[in-house]
Amino acid sequence: MATRTDSPRRILRGQPAMAQSLDPVVQETLRLWRKHHLGYDQTKYVVERVRRRLALEPPRTRTRTVARLDRSEVERLIHATYRSQSTYGLMIKTLFQTGTRVDEFVHLRVADLFLDGDPPQIHITHAKRHADRYVPILSALADELRTHLRGRQTGFVFESNRHTRYATRTVQAIVTACARAAGIVKRVYPHLLRHSIATILLDSGVVPIDQVQKFLGHLHLSTTQIYAETSVRALGDNYNRALGGSGSRGQAGATS
C-alpha cells in the first residue's frame, strides 16, 4: 500500500488498476471544482494547499530522463506551423526559445518585452512561486515580435480575436494540433518545448546548468539536474551560440 509520502505519479506509473480506482475521486473533485467555478490558477492553489495539509512530499529519487523533442523535430514543428499559420508558428517559436511555462507565456505583456537590449530580453513576471526572471532571446525573434506587434505598446503579446489573453488550454490545443499536422508522432504539448530547450542548451556544451536553472526559473538546482547530470558553461551570448546565433547580436539558426 502506498504511503502518504508517495507522489501520485509514483503511485500511478505502471499501475492502471490503481489509476482506475481513483476515478471516483476524480469525479468528486470535478464536481466540487465546477460547483465553485474554479479557474486554472485557483485549482493549482487548491491542490498545493491540500498537499501541504496532508504533508505530502515528492519521492526522494526522481527519474533522470524527461520526454523531449530533438532539435530536428523542433525545427520541423516550427517550420510546418509557419507555413500553415504564421501567428501560431511565432507562438510556438516563442514558447520554445523562452522556455516559458504555458501559464507564464499567456500572461506575457508588451511591456515585458525589452527588444532593443543586447541581447534582447523578456521579463517573465507571471512566474511560478513568484520566481520572476529575465530571459534572453535571439535578435531574429525580437525582430519578428516587433513585426507581430505592429507598433502596439499595450496588452498581451499574443491576444485572441477579442483582444484578451489566450487560455492555457487553447495554447495547449494549438501546440498539439500543429505537431500532429507536422507529422510528429510524439505527444507534444507546451511543457515539452520547455523540456526540449533545456536539454538542447545543456547538450550544446556552452551553457552551464546554473544558468539554465536561472533561465527556467527553478528555485532549486536539483530541479534542473533532471535535464543533465553534468554542468557545462554563461547565458546571454552563450544562449545565442547554443541556438545557432553568433554573439549577442547573432542571427537565429534553423529555428529562427
Catalytic choice (71, 101, 107, 195): 101
Q: Is 93 a catalytic residue?
A: no
Phi and psi, residue 113, nearest 5°: -95, 130
Q: Is 88 a catalytic residue?
A: no
> What's the pLDDT tens digit per position in 37-55?
888 888 888 888 888 888 8
- Round the average pLDDT of the chain to a whole number and report it: 82
Q: Is 191 a catalytic residue?
A: yes
pLDDT (0 to 100) of residue 245: 67
Catalytic choice (10, 79, 128, 241): 128
> What's the pLDDT tens digit per position in 149-169?
999 999 999 999 889 999 999
Architecture of domain 71-242: Orthogonal Bundle (1.10)
> What's the pLDDT tens digit per position in 76-86?
999 999 999 99
pLDDT at 123 over 90: yes
Mind giving me the DSSP string for 26-42?
Answer: HHHHHHHHHHTT--HHH
pTM for the model stands at 0.67
pLDDT at 1 over 60: no
Instruction: Report the distance separating Cα 122 and Cα 95, nearest Å.
Output: 12
pLDDT at 248 over 70: no
- Three-state secondary structure call for residue 48: helix
- Three-state secondary structure call for residue 191: helix
Q: Where are the domains of the chain?
A: 8-53, 71-242
CA atoms within 13 A on the CB side of 236: 7
Catalytic choice (51, 76, 109, 191): 191
Q: Is 227 a catalytic residue?
A: yes
